[in-house]
Amino acid sequence: MTPAPLATRLTVPSGPLFFPVTAYGPDGSLDLDVFREHVRGGVEAGAAAVFACCGTGEFHALTPEEFQDCVRAAVEETAGRVPVIAGAGYGTALAVRYARLAAEAGADGLLAMPPYLVVAGQEGLLRHYREVAAATDLPVIVYQRDNAVFTPETVVGLARTEGIIGLKDGLGDLDLMQRIVSAVRGEVPGDFLYFNGLPTAELTGLAYRGIGITLYSSAVFCFAPEIALAFHRALNTGDDATANRLLDGFYRPFVELRAQGRGYAVSLVKAGVRQGGLDVGEVRPPLHEPSEDHVKQLVRLVERGYALIEVGAGTGAEVEPEFEESV
């Protein structure tokens, strides 16, 4: 752990928040050497934080031992340069166990994912996350999505809970988020962090910025860091022309391609990392690999994204005009 509080380190990030994929060998076992290389490459490329073993990192597919090994490897590779936040989930007892494993591995914080399977009421959800927060000294970011959707009143309760520092939104209901932000601002002193946590958060970055939420997770950073960095700079400097050029030419078609298969928010990203030259292996079941055609489309789309960056830099590079129709 570094002396600066996690919330302070995340408030004004210098780059995208990096959610690395988890690397597996040809036999499907954990490949820590490749995972370390992936994490190290992301930090060197400009990531502001590493969120290890979260959704993109296939938290659901890891054993507790593998989880702790990955978190420890991420901590060692970052060497304090950026914070490491680890996933924690399932039912309350297991979420507490994962939280403690992450603390033992040296993580700087936790991303608390929805409890397994059950659709709980607000009182039960609040109790769940309070128990996770109380399990360690690690600051906790709560992930809103799927079966964990909160009322503004519940988020006020979360914000008042010692150890809970923020909310990551994977739902995309801007009306709800505005009401949450307003309620917490009016009832809880101090800063509470909010993150846009949709699968390709850049697509809604301008909309979330409109309600004051500028922190976001970037899966694209895993396989096309320069594109993710260009968008991050544009969003945070008010360069909406560049942001919209990347949205129209890269992010929107990427989201449309991602929608072609279930689980592509993970498996398509992992395919992109492999296409970039780092063999992180395939996804574990129940996820499945994208089709060969979809991978080819991804390769062409990444090429287009880099061309769009060159256009913005004034190099005069040409961008294929018909790409979007081909996707």
270 catalytic residue (yes or no):
no
Among candidate residues 129, 143, 251, 264, the one labeled active-site is 143
Q: Answer whether 168's CB lies under 8 Å from 195's CB.
A: yes
Contact criterion met (CB below 8 Å) for 305 and 65? no
Q: Radius of gyration of the chain from Cα atoms?
A: 19
CA-to-CA distance for 100 and 133, rounded, in angstroms?
Answer: 10
Would you state the structure tokens that stand for residue 309, as one six-digit string? 């960056």
- Cα separation of 167 and 310, whole Å? 35
Write phi, then psi, for 4 (nearest 5 degrees).
-70, 135
Catalytic, 116? Answer no
Q: Where are the alpha helices (DSSP H) in 105-222?
A: 122-135, 152-159, 174-187, 205-210
Cis peptide before 286 (omega within 30 of 0): yes
User: 154: Cβ–Cβ under 8 A, 6 or more apart, which residues?
Assistant: 122, 125, 126
Q: How far is CA 110 from CA 202, 239, 289, in A?
A: 22, 32, 28
Measured between its terminal Cα atoms, the distance across the chain in Å is 44
**Amino acid letter, 153:** E
Among the options 24, 129, 168, 194, which is catalytic? Answer: 168
Distance CA 272, CA 224 (A): 8
Query: What residues are labeled active site?
Result: 143, 168
